[in-house]
C-alpha cells in the first residue's frame, strides 16, 4: 500500500461540501483499493449464475426447454437477465465500475511513476546499520569505485559526499501499470469484436454448398454494427465428409479424426480450390474463420404418395441420439404428398445388428421406421418449424397413425416400406453425412491477443521483479553497505541478492560481475 | 500394440507405487512433526546467512519461526523420520513422473487427455512444487500435508477417474494441449501448495505450536501464488487461443471458461487484498482459500455438474 492509497482509504466523508465535494468523495471512494476489491469479488460472483443457468448465447435449446417445462421460473430468470448474464445490464454495471475504478487507479499512479522515473535515488540514510540489510565491506573502497561496481550491476546510481545511492527494479511498476492497462485494452478489444463481428451456424450435407450470406445461415448472431452486405463473399461445396473411428480395444468407436473435403471459392470471381477442413484447423478467408464443430448422418429417402408421385426425395439430417454409436433420430416430412401429407419418424443405425447400432461408422447402415403418419403437419402456417420435429404436440395428436412401433424389420439401402391403405411408399436409398459449421468474424481478435500477451508479460514483471535500494557509505577508509527492498514478501530473496552485491562491492574489480 | 499395452501397464504400476510412496512419506513427515522439536535449529543452519546483524524491523527477513526450542530432547529418530519422508517423497515423485512419461509413450500423445491423466499430473506438479520449494527453504513441516493431499488425489484418480490408455477425440488432438494444459497443471500444482499452506494457517491458530509461525506460512503461500498467478493467466489465455482455433470464438462463457475466469479474479482479489491495509493474515488467507475452492470446483465440480465443450472431462471413460 502506498501513501497515496492510504490517503484514499481515509478520504473524509463529505460534510456539507456541496456537489463538487460529493463528486470528489465518490471518485475517491470508487478508486479506493477496498472498492476495487469489492468490485472484483462482485465480478467473480456475478459470473456464477452464468454457469448455473443455461445461457442463450451458449445453449439456446436448453433455454427454450426451460421456458416449456417451467414457464414461471423462466419468466423470473428472464426478468433478471439470467439467460444472458454476460450481456446483462447488471453485469455491465459491475465491470464498468471496476474499469472506471481501474482507470482512476492507474492514471494517478502513472503520473507518480513518471515523476519517479526522473528522480534520482534518494540520499543515503545517516546510519546504514539501521537498515534491514547491512554489511561492513572488507576492503576500503572509494565512492567512485562503489558507484562503478553498482552501475555494472545495472543499478541506477547517485553519488554524494561520502555516499552512493543505487536503486533498481523500476520494471515492477512498469509491469503493474501495463498489466492494468492491458486489461482495459482487452475490454476494448472484446467490445469491438461484439459490435463489429458476427457468428453464424449452418448445417451442410455432402454434395451441398454454402455461400456466406445472412440468409444461408441456420442461426446468425450479428453485432449491432454489422450489415448484411459486409459479409465476406466466399462459398464452398462439401464434397466429402470423412470420419474415422477406433476399431479395436476398450475405446472402440471413439472418433479419431474428422475431415471435410471442401471445394472453396474465396470470392465469386475466384477460382475454386480444395481445402480439407478439420477440427482445430479452421478455414480462414480474409479474417473470417469457418470451423468444423459437429457431424452426423443424413440418410437419403424417397417418398412416393398415394397417387404414385414422388412427394419428397433427398437427404434428411438426423439428430445424433447416442454419440458412441451415432444412433440418430430422423424426421421425414412430405408436405406435398397427395391426397394427404405424410410424415415419418425414423431411427438411423450406422452399423446395425437388426435392432441397435454397434459402431459409429456406416458399415451396415439401416433405418428403423418408428412411425408413419398422415394428416396436416402444419407446415403451411408460415411459422418456423424445427426440422427435427414432425409436428408440434397439438397437431401430432390429430395425425392419423399408419404404422406405429418397432415391429417393422429395419430397412437397408434400396429397400422400401409400403404404407397401408394405399397411402404411399417410403424408400431408403442411400447414406450421406452432414457437418455443422460455425462461421465467425471478429475484428477484435488480434487486439485481444496483443492485450492478453501484454498482460502475461507485464504481470510477470509486476510480480517477480523486486524494487530495491542499496547505499554505500565511505568514511575514514572504511566502507559499509545497506539495503532495502520496497517489495513486500521478497525480503528473503533479497537477503541472498544483497549478499551477492556485498561480495561484488568487496571483491574488487576482478570478480565483479 | 503389445508394446504400448505393456507401457500402459507399467504406467499403472507406477501410479500405484507413487500412491504407496507418498503414503509412507507422509507417515515419515508426520512422525517428525509429532515428535521432533529440533526443527527450528535445522532451519537456522540452513537459512541463508544474513549479512550483517542489525535487523530491527526485519520481521519479514527471518525465515524460521520464533518458536522456542523446547528443553525436552526429542527422540533421536524424529529427524531421521523426516529425512526418510523426504527421500520417499522424492522417490514417489519420480514414480509419479514415470507414470506420466510411460503413459505418454503408451498412447503416443501428451499424457493429459482425460480427467484421470490430468489429476495424476496435477498431483505430480503439487508434490514437485513442494520439493522444489524445499530445495530453497525449509518447508518440511508442509510435507505431511502435501503428501496426504497427493495420496488422496492419486487414490481418487485411480479409484474414480481411471481411464484406460487410448487415443483422444479429435478436438483434443492439438499442440495446444501441450501449451494450455501444461500451464494449467503447473499453476494448479502451485495453487495446491498455497492452498494446503493456507489451510494449515487456519488450523494452526495463534498460540504455540509445532508448526511454524503464521507469518511464515503466509509467506510460503504468497510466494507460491505469486509464481502461480502469471502461469494461470497464461493458461487461461492459451485456452482462449485454443478455443479460437477449435470452437470459432476465443471466449464464449462455457462453464469451464466461467470458472477459470472466476478463479483468476479470485486470486487477483487475493493479491489486491494483500496490498490493502487490514487484509493480511487471516482475511487474506480466507480469500486465498476461496480462490482455491474455485480452482478445485473448476477441476472437479464443473466436469461433473455441467456439460460443456471441454471434452476431456469424460469421467466415465
Ligand atoms: C480487472 C480487475 C483487476 C485485476 C485482474 C487486477 C490484477 C492485479 C494483480 C494480479 C496485481 C499484482 C498484485 C501484486 O503486486 O501483488 C495487481 C496490483 C495492483 N492493482 Fe490491480 N487488478 C484489477 C483491478 C484493479 C483496480 C480496479 C485497481 C484500483 C482501484 C487496481 C489497483 C492495483 C494496484 C494499486 C496494484 C499494485 C499493488 C502494489 O503496489 O504492488 N487493480 N492487480
Lowest mean pLDDT among A29-33, A418-422, A490-494, B87-91: A490-494
Give the percent of chain B with pLDDT over 70. 82
Q: What is the pLDDT of residue B55?
A: 34
CA B282 from chain center: how many Å?
A: 21
Residue A140 burial (10 A CB sphere; 0-12, 13-18, 19+): exposed
The beta-strand segments (E) located in A255-287 are 255-265, 272-278, 283-285
Out of B228-232, B235-239, B281-285, least confident range = B281-285
pLDDT > 60? residue B41? no
* Cβ-defined contact of B272 to A40 (cutoff 8 Å): yes
Is the pLDDT assigned to residue B30 strictly greater than 60? Answer: yes
Q: Within 10 A of A84 (CB to CB), how many other CB atoms are there?
A: 18
SS3 A244: strand
What pLDDT does A259 receive? 93
As a whole number, mean pLDDT of residues A149-165 equals 90
Q: By the 8 A CB rule, do A427 and A301 touch?
A: yes
Which of B113, B249, B170 lies closest to A291, judged by CA?
B249
Distance B273 CA to ligand 1 centre (A): 9
Q: Is A40 in the pocket of ligand 1 (CB under 6 A)?
A: yes
d(CA A151, CA A165): 11
Mutant choice from A8, A51, A279 vs B, greatest count of B C-beta within 10 A: A51
Answer yes or no: are the C-beta atoms of A357 and A322 closer than 8 Å: yes
pLDDT (tens digit per residue) in B141-176: 899 999 999 999 999 999 988 888 888 877 787 888
Nearest-Cα residue of chain B relative to residue A450: B237
- DSSP assignments along B39-75, one per residue: HHHHHHHHSPPPSSS--SSGGGT--S--PPPPSSPPP
Which pLDDT score is estimated for A383?
A: 66
| 281-320 in chain A: CB under 8 A from chain B | 281-282, 289, 291, 293
pLDDT at B27 over 90: yes
Query: Confidence band (pLDDT; 50, 70, 90) for A488?
Result: low
Distance between CA atoms of residues B28 and B31, nearest Å: 5
Share of chain B above pLDDT 90, in %: 48
CA distance A435 to chain B (A): 14
Contact present, A5 and A33 (Cβ < 8 Å) = yes
Atom of ligand 1 nearest to the CA of A101: 27
- Put simply, the answer to whether B262 touches A496 (Cβ < 8 Å) is no
* A46, A194, A495, A496, best to mutate vs chain B, most B CBs in 10 Å: A495
- List Cβ neighbours of B126 (8 Å cut-off, separation of 6 or more): B146, B149, B150, B153, B188, B189, B190, B192, B193
CB contact at 8 A, B4 and A249: no
Pick the more confident residue, A184 or B277: A184
Q: CB of B254 within 8 Å of any CB in chain A?
A: yes
How many whole angstroms from A102 Cα to the centroid of ligand 1?
8
Q: What is the pLDDT of residues B243-278, one digit of tens each?
A: 888 877 888 888 889 999 999 999 999 998 887 656
Closest C-alpha among A285, A291, A337, A293 to residue A311: A337
pLDDT greater at residue B79 or residue B43 = B79
Identify the band that residue B38 occupies on the pLDDT scale cut at 50, 70 and 90. Answer: very low
What does the pLDDT average to over A498-512? 73
- What element of type H or E holds A115? helix A89-118
Per-residue pLDDT tens over the stretch A1-29: 343 444 444 455 555 678 888 888 888 88
B63 CB contacts (<8 Å, ≥6 apart)? A492, B43, B47, B48, B137, B138, B216
Query: Mean per-residue pLDDT for A154-183?
Result: 91
Q: What average pLDDT does range B180-190 have in this prediction?
A: 95
Instruction: Report d(CA A465, CA A461) in Å as an integer.
Output: 5
| List of residues 6+ apart from B148 with CB closer than 8 A | B26
Asked whether residue B62 carries a pLDDT value surpassing 80, the answer given is no
Ligand 1 near A181 CB (within 6 A): no
| CA B15/CA B157 separation, integer angstroms | 10
Mean pLDDT lowest for which of B31-40, B103-112, B116-125, B126-135? Answer: B31-40
Instruction: List Cα–Cα distances, A476 to A44, A502, B232, B286, in angstroms.
Output: 60, 19, 53, 53
Coil, strand or helix at A480: strand
Cβ B244–A445 below 8 Å, yes or no? yes
Mutate which of A40, A176, A178, A488 to test ligand 1's pocket (most atoms within 8 Å of Cβ)? A176
Which residues contact residue A180 at a Cβ distance below 8 angstroms, ignoring those fewer than 6 apart? A102, A105, A106
This complex has an ipTM of: 0.80
Highest mean pLDDT among A250-254, A402-406, B14-18, B38-42: B14-18
User: Which residue among A102, A109, A190, A466 is best mutated to probe the pocket of ligand 1, counting the most ligand atoms within 8 A of its Cβ?
Assistant: A102
Nearest atom in ligand 1 to the alpha carbon of residue A40 is 2
Cα separations (Å) of B24 from A185, B35, B36, B94?
A: 51, 17, 17, 15
Is B229 in Cβ contact with A47 (below 8 Å)? no
Residue A175, pLDDT above cutoff 70: yes
| pLDDT for the residue numbered B51 | 35
- Could you tell me which of A449, A438, A443, A442 has the C-alpha nearest to residue A283? A438
Q: How far apart (Å, rounded) are the C-alpha atoms in residues A59 and A63?
A: 7
The secondary structure of residue A12, as a DSSP letter, is: P
Distances (CA, A) of A208 to A294, A421, A432: 16, 36, 11
pLDDT at residue B123, rounded to an integer? 96
pLDDT at A13 (0 to 100): 54
Among the listed residues A417, A221, A185, A144, the one whose alpha carbon sits nearest the alpha carbon of residue A301: A417
Which uninterrupted H or E stretch holds A448? Answer: helix A445-464
Query: Which residues of B, range 46-105, sit inside 8 Å of A by Cβ?
Result: 48-58, 60-61, 63
pLDDT at B57: 35
| CB pair distance less than 8 Å for A495 and B279 | no
Query: In angstroms, rounded to a whole number, what is the distance separating the alpha carbons of residues B310 and B317?
Result: 14
**Residue B10 half-sphere exposure toward CB, CA atoms < 13 A:** 17
**How many Å lie between the alpha carbon of B198 and the closest alpha carbon of chain A?**
16
Q: How far is Cα B7 from Cα B105, in angstroms, rounded to an integer?
A: 7
Ligand 1 centre from A486 Cα, in Å? Answer: 17
For residue B237, list chain A residues with Cβ-Cβ distance below 8 A.
452-453, 455-456
Q: Which three cell numbers stand for residue A454?
A: 501484454
Q: Is the pLDDT of residue A388 over 50?
A: yes
B219 in A contact zone (CB under 8 Å):
yes
| CA neighbor of A58 nearest in space, from A80, A85, A78, A76 | A85
β-sheet bridge partners, residue A296 = A434
Residue nearest to atom 17 of ligand 1 (CA): B272
Of B58, B32, B243, B226, nearest in space to B138 by CA: B32
Among all chains, which residue has been given the C-alpha cell 522417490? B91
- Determine the Cα–Cα distance for residues A189 and B65; give it in Å rounded to an integer: 48
Q: What is the mean pLDDT of chain B?
A: 82
Mind listing the pLDDT tens digit for each residue in A111-149?
A: 999 998 888 888 888 888 888 888 888 777 888 888 999
In this predicted structure, the answer to whether residue B65 has a pLDDT above a threshold of 60 is: no
CB-CB neighbors (< 8 A) of B49 in chain A: 499
Judged against a pLDDT cut of 60, whether residue A503 lies above it is answered with: yes
Tell me how far apart the alpha carbons of residues B193 and B142 are, in angstroms, rounded to a whole number.
9
The 10s digit of each residue's pLDDT in A275-329 is 999 988 899 998 899 999 889 999 999 999 888 889 999 999 998 888 888 999 9
User: Taking residues A472-487, what's their average pLDDT?
Assistant: 84
Residues A71-99: pLDDT tens digits? 899 999 999 999 999 889 999 999 999 99
Nearest CA in chain A to B137: A492
Strand arrangement, sheet containing A163-168: A133-136, A478-485, A468-475, A163-168, A156-159
Ranking A247-256, A474-483, B8-17, B90-99 by mean pLDDT, the lowest is A247-256
Q: Check CB contact under 8 Å for B51 and A50.
A: no
Nearest residue (by CA) to ligand 1, atom 24, is: A102
Query: Hey, is the C-beta of B267 within 8 angstroms of any chain A C-beta?
Result: no
User: In this predicted structure, what is the pLDDT of residue B73?
Assistant: 63
What local confidence, expressed as pLDDT, does residue B60 receive?
37
- Report pTM: 0.82
What mean pLDDT do residues A457-480 have? 88
Cβ of residue A379 lying under 6 Å from some atom of ligand 1? no
The mean predicted confidence, pLDDT, of chain A is 86
Pocket-testing residue among B268, B279, B288, ligand 1, by greatest number of atoms within 8 A of Cβ: B268
- Tell me A270's DSSP state: S
Residues A43, A94 contacting (CB under 8 angstroms): yes
pLDDT at A330 over 50: yes
Grid cell for residue A497: 541478492
Count the neighbouring beta carbons within 10 Å of the beta carbon of residue A139.
11
Phi, psi (rounded to 5 degrees) for B279: -115, 30
CA distance A307 to chain B (A): 47
The pLDDT of residue A435 is 93
Amino acid at each position: 500500500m502506498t501513501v497515496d492509497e492510504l490517503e484514499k482509504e481515509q478520504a473524509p466523508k463529505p460534510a456539507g461540501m456541496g456537489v463538487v465535494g460529493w463528486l470528489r468523495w465518490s471518485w475517491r471512494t470508487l478508486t479506493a483499493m477496498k472498492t476495487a476489491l469489492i468490485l472484483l469479488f462482485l465480478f467473480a460472483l456475478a459470473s456464477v449464475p452464468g454457469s448455473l443457468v443455461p445461457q442463450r448465447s451458449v445453449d439456446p435449446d436448453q433455454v427454450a426447454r426451460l421456458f416449456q417445462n417451467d414457464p414461471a421460473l423462466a419468466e423470473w430468470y428472464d426478468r433478471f437477465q439470467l439467460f444472458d448474464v454476460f450481456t446483462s445490464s447488471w453485469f455491465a454495471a459491475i465491470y464498468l465500475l471496476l474499469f472506471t475504478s481501474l482507470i482512476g487507479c492507474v492514471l494517478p499512479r502513472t503520473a507518480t511513476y513518471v515523476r519517479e522515473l526522473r528522480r534520482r535515488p534518494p540520499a543515503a540514510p545517516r546510519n546504514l546499520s539501521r537498515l534491514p540489510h547491512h554489511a561492513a565491506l572488507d576492503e576500503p573502497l572509494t565512492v567512485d569505485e562503489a558507484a562503478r561496481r553498482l552501475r555494472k550491476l545495472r543499478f541506477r546510481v547517485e553519488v554524494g559526499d561520502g555516499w552512493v545511492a543505487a536503486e533498481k527494479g523500476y520494471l515492477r511498476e512498469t509491469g503493474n501499470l501495463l498489466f492494468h492497462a492491458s486489461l482495459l485494452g482487452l475490454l476494448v478489444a472484446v467490445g469491438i469484436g461484439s459490435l463489429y463481428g458476427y457468428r453464424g451456424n449452418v448445417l451442410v450435407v455432402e454434395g451441398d454448398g454454402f455461400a456466406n450470406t445472412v440468409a444461408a445461415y441456420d442461426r446468425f448472431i450479428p453485432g449491432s454494427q454489422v450489415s448484411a452486405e459486409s459479409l465476406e463473399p466466399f462459398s464452398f461445396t462439401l464434397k466429402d465428409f470423412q470420419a474415422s473411428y477406433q476399431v479395436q480395444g476398450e475405446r472402440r468407436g471413439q472418433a479419431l479424426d474428422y475431415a471435410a473435403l471442401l471445394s472453396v471459392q474465396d470470392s465469386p470471381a475466384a477460382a475454386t480450390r480444395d481445402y480439407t477442413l478439420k477440427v482445430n484447423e479452421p478455414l480462414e478467408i480474409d479474417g473470417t474463420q469457418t470451423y468444423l464443430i459437429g457431424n452426423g448422418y443424413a440418410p437419403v429417402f424417397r417418398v412416393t404418395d398415394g397417387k404414385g408421385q414422388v412427394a419428397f426425395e433427398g437427404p434428411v439430417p438426423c439428430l445424433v441420439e447416442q454419440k458412441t454409436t451415432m444412433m440418430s433420430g430422423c424426421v421425414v416430412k412430405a408436405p406435398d404428398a397427395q391426397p394427404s401429407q405424410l410424415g415419418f419418424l425414423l431411427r438411423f443405425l450406422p452399423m446395425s445388428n437388426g435392432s441397435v447400432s454397434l459402431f459409429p461408422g456406416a458399415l451396415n447402415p439401416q433405418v428403423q421406421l418408428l412411425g408413419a403418419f398422415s394428416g396436416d403437419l402444419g407446415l403451411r402456417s408460415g411459422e418456423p418449424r424445427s426440422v427435427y420435429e414432425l409436428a408440434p404436440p397439438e397437431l401430432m395428436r390429430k395425425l392419423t397413425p399408419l404404422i406405429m412401433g418397432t415391429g417393422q424389420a429395419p430397412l437397408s439401402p434400396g429397400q422400401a416400406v409400403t404404407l397401408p391403405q394405399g397411402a404411399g411408399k417410403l424408400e431408403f436409398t442411400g447414406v450421406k453425412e452432414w457437418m455443422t459449421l460455425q462461421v465467425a468474424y471478429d475484428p477484435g481478435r488480434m487486439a485481444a491477443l496483443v492485450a492478453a500477451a501484454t498482460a502475461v508479460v507485464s504481470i510477470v514483471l509486476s510480480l517477480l521483479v523486486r524494487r530495491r535500494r542499496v547505499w554505500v557509505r565511505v568514511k575514514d577508509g572504511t566502507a559499509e553497505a545497506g539495503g532495502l527492498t520496497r517489495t513486500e514478501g521478497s525480503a528473503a530473496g533479497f537477503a541472498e541478492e544483497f549478499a551477492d552485491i556485498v561480495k561484488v562491492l568487496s571483491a574488487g574489480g576482478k570478480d565483479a560481475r | 500394440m503389445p508394446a504400448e499395452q505393456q507401457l500402459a501397464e507399467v504406467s499403472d504400476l507406477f501410479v500405484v507405487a507413487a500412491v504407496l510412496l507418498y503414503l509412507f512419506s507422509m507417515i515419515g513427515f508426520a512422525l517428525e512433526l509429532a515428535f521432533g522439536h529440533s526443527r527450528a535449529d535445522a532451519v537456522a543452519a540452513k537459512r541463508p546467512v544474513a549479512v550483517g546483524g542489525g535487523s530491527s524491523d526485519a520481521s519479514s527477513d527471518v525465515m524460521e519461526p520464533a518458536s522456542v526450542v523446547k528443553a525436552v530432547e526429542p527422540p533421536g529418530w524424529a529427524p531421521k523420520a523426516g529425512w526418510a519422508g523426504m527421500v520417499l517423497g522424492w522417490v514417489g515423485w519420480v514414480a509419479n513422473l514415470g507414470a506420466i512419461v510411460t503413459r505418454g509413450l503408451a498412447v503416443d500423445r501428451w499424457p493429459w487427455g482425460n480427467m484421470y491423466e490430468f489429476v495424476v499430473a496435477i498431483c505430480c506438479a503439487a508434490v514437485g512444487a513442494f520439493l522444489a520449494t524445499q530445495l530453497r527453504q525449509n518447508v518440511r513441516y508442509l510435507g505431511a500435508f502435501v503428501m496426504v493431499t497427493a495420496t488422496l488425489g492419486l487414490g481418487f484418480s485411480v479409484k474414480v477417474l481411471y481411464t484406460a490408455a487410448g487415443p483422444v477425440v479429435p478436438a483434443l488432438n492439438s499442440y495446444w494441449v501441450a501449451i494450455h494444459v501444461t500451464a494449467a497443471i503447473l499453476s494448479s500444482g502451485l495453487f495446491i501448495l498455497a492452498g494446503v499452506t493456507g489451510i494449515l494457517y487456519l488450523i494452526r491458530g495463534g498460540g504455540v505450536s509445532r508448526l511454524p509461525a503464521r507469518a511464515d506460512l503466509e509467506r510460503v503461500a504468497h510466494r507460491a501464488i505469486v509464481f502461480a498467478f502469471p502461469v494461470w493467466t497464461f493458461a487461461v489465455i492459451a485456452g482462449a487461443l485454443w478455443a479460437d482455433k477449435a470452437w470459432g470464438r476465443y471466449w464464449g462463457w462455457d462453464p469451464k471458461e466461467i470458472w477459470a475466469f472466476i478463479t483468476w479474479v479470485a486470486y487477483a482479489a487475493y493479491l489486491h487484498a494483500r496490498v490493502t491495509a487490514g487484509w493480511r493474515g487471516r482475511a487474506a488467507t480466507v480469500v486465498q482459500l476461496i480462490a482455491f475452492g474455485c480452482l478445485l470446483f473448476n477441476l472437479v465440480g464443473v466436469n461433473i455438474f455441467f456439460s460443456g465443450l471441454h471434452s476431456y472431462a469424460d469421467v466415465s471413460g
